A and B are shown apart, each in its own frame.
Chain A
Amino acid sequence: MTALATAPPPAAGGSGGPAPAAVRAPRRRLTPYWLLLPAGLWLAVFFVAPLVYQASTSVQTGSLEEGYRVTWHFATYAEALREYGVHFLRSFGYAATATALCLVIGYPLAYTLAFRAGRWRNVLLVMVIAPFFTSFLIRTLAWKTILSDGGPVVGALEALHVLDVTAWLGLTSGERVLATPLAVVCGLTYNFLPFMILPLYASLERISPSLHEAARDLYAGPATTFRRVTFPLSLPGVVAGTLLTFIPASGDYINAQLLGSPSEQMVGNAIQQQFLKVLDYPTAAAMSFLLMALILIMVTVYMRKAGTEELV
């Protein structure tokens, strides 16, 4: 794995270009590899190697006392999928809903920042990033206060009959929001919203205002301008934002733990429990790999559909 980042190139003679100092050329060609060495080595040892090791752990059997051996026991995967299939489906459902909500909430904000904020732009940007710096656990716990039973938010939702609709959709039950899927989705949406706003803003900001003027000169109304000019040009931001929201959201277990109910947990909760409580490392490893593989498949399909390759 180190080879990827750090292996020196084969000493090929005749490099391109006029090469003013022939003696110094070989040393210069090695420079990028020396610069990459510490970071590459660190990531190889503490990121890539653990993933490879995780793959081998997922096909091991044994116990903590007797030790584990690789037995190519692929049944762990089947068992994990049978037992936690619902968790996977729930995770992707919650993550997809939260991503859609992030797009709906984040787009107007990113649009405002890019085109309508004027001299307030920097202040608003700081306000978007600032919550980031307070511990996200504290902020997630604050949602417990906001959504508390009989609190003003729940009361307002009830008065507006929103809770009837969400209960019909199976997102809430009774007069509670806490410990329901709605609370988890709300927390996920909140926690990953900046990951949607920032790429959207970056791509919107690059759109030249003269394109809007051109659209107006050609008698396009605001809606048509948005549909035919602004939105298509912001697509790279939409793709990057949805990926940056969906991937971490589908692995999250904090929101489900703090805001959801124990009976409707996500796959992250299951991995965390297998690893830290049950101490069943092969199952935890198999579930991690399944999660990664499923996300990879979905991302690949999505990128094909979205048709954009330029990212970040």
Chain B
Amino acid sequence: MTAVTSWTPVRWLRRNAVVLAGLAGLLYLLLPNAVVLLFSFNDPAGRFNYEWRTFSTEAWTNPCGVADMCGSLTLSLRIAVLATLGATAFGTLAAFALARHRFRGRGAANGLIFLPMAMPEVVMAASLGTLFLNMRVGFGFTTILIAHIMFCLSFVVVAVKARVASMDPRLEEAARDLYAGPLQTFLRVTLPLAAPGIAAGALLSFALSFDDFVVTQFNAGPSTVTFPMFVWGAAQRGVPVQVNVIGTAMFLIAVGIVLAGQLTARRRGRSTA
């Protein structure tokens, strides 16, 4: 009986306790995604897809088999694309102002942009809804779009600002020294350098808009049903398996995009290094 061998597993556990706890936390984060994936292959007996019955690929071969679901999905996509364009354009301009210029009112502008992120969503949603209601603006596509651009803006500003602040202004000076005009400098130097931040902001606002439920519920009215609102309604009536298919597909697409982004970044890093 040697003391060393009987001690090793305990010592290993102690040394890696943090990592094990961390991986347990990661499992907690990924568990619902695994359940969503598993139950997308379920063949439920009744309306509710909460209990495992038998394996079936029905939902995957016929994802739009549920009435109204794919319509709500395209509506959400349309809103997300437009909200992303608006928020990214406005947010990028504001980020350049805040990162590149020292001016009076900068602190106030920073505060104004920070506030929407620091406020409970329900407060923001209810107040905008109250305004639309009292201005007698009809709820629908436009009010959802306005609301989505509003709450996505701040996230774009933060993402782009971080990138612009870390850019070396000497590169732009060098371009000017080489007789590049202001437009040429912006298009050939500034914009490519800021692009990863702008892309991150755009991706974030797309995800936020596509997934938003709270602000949408208060500003959509009864007839405009986005995908999250469809899911919410379905939660009361019975969630179709196809919702799990969409959830899983979204997860896989997102992981694919992020991994592709990291791979291209690494390749670019290698070629310039």
Q: Knowing that A54-B126, A144-B50, A276-B217 touch, tell me 14 more A-B residue pairs with CB under 8 angstroms.
A: A5-B105, A5-B108, A35-B96, A38-B90, A38-B94, A50-B130, A51-B127, A54-B123, A109-B21, A122-B262, A142-B36, A145-B35, A271-B122, A285-B130
- With both beta carbons as reference points, the residue of chain A lying nearest to B34 in the complex is identified as A142
Asked if A157 is at the interface (CB within 8 A of a chain B CB), the reply is no
Asked if B180 is at the interface (CB within 8 A of a chain A CB), the reply is no
Cα A282 to Cα B270 in complex, Å, equals 59
Q: Mark A283-312, 1 if CB is under 8 A from B, else 0.
A: 011001101100100000000000000001
Given the interface pairs A43-B113, A109-B22, the reply to whether A251 lies near B247 with Cβ below 8 Å is no
Of the stretches B1-9, B165-173, B206-214, the one at the interface is B206-214
- With both beta carbons as reference points, the residue of chain A lying nearest to B36 in the complex is identified as A142
- With both beta carbons as reference points, the residue of chain B lying nearest to A281 in the complex is identified as B130
Q: Mark A249-273, 1 if CB is under 8 A from B, else 0.
A: 0111110001000000000100110
Report B's interface with A, CB cutoff 8 A.
18-19, 21-26, 28-33, 35-36, 39, 49-51, 89-91, 93-94, 96-98, 100-101, 103-106, 108-109, 112-116, 118-124, 126-131, 133-134, 146-147, 149-150, 153-154, 157-158, 207, 210-211, 213-214, 217-218, 227-228, 231-232, 235, 239, 243-244, 246-248, 250-251, 253-255, 258-259, 262
Q: Mark A108-144, 1 if CB is under 8 A from B, else 0.
A: 1111110010000010101111111111111111111
Question: For residue A5, which residues in chain B have a CB less than 8 angstroms away from its CB?
Answer: 105, 108-109, 112
Cα A31 to Cα B102 in complex, Å, equals 11
Question: For residue B218, which residues in chain A have a CB less than 8 angstroms away from its CB?
Answer: 272, 275-276
Count how many pairs of residues, one from A and one from B, have CB atoms less than 8 Å apart in the complex.
Answer: 263
Q: Mark A146-161, 1 if CB is under 8 A from B, else 0.
A: 1010000000000000
Question: For residue B49, which residues in chain A have a CB less than 8 angstroms away from its CB?
Answer: 145
Contact of B227 among A57, A135, A139, A276 (CB under 8 A): A135
Q: List 25 A-B contacts (CB under 8 A).
A: A9-B103, A9-B104, A40-B112, A42-B90, A42-B153, A46-B128, A47-B116, A50-B128, A54-B127, A54-B130, A105-B28, A112-B22, A126-B259, A131-B30, A135-B246, A137-B213, A138-B231, A139-B32, A139-B247, A140-B32, A145-B49, A190-B28, A248-B121, A250-B120, A285-B127
Question: For residue B50, which residues in chain A have a CB less than 8 angstroms away from its CB?
Answer: 144-145, 148
Contact B235 A137 (CB under 8 A): yes
Question: For residue B93, which residues in chain A have a CB less than 8 angstroms away from its CB?
Answer: 35-36, 38-39
Question: For residue A38, which residues in chain B have a CB less than 8 angstroms away from its CB?
Answer: 89-90, 93-94
Question: For residue B96, which residues in chain A have a CB less than 8 angstroms away from its CB?
Answer: 35
A148 to chain B minimum Cβ distance, whole angstroms, is 6
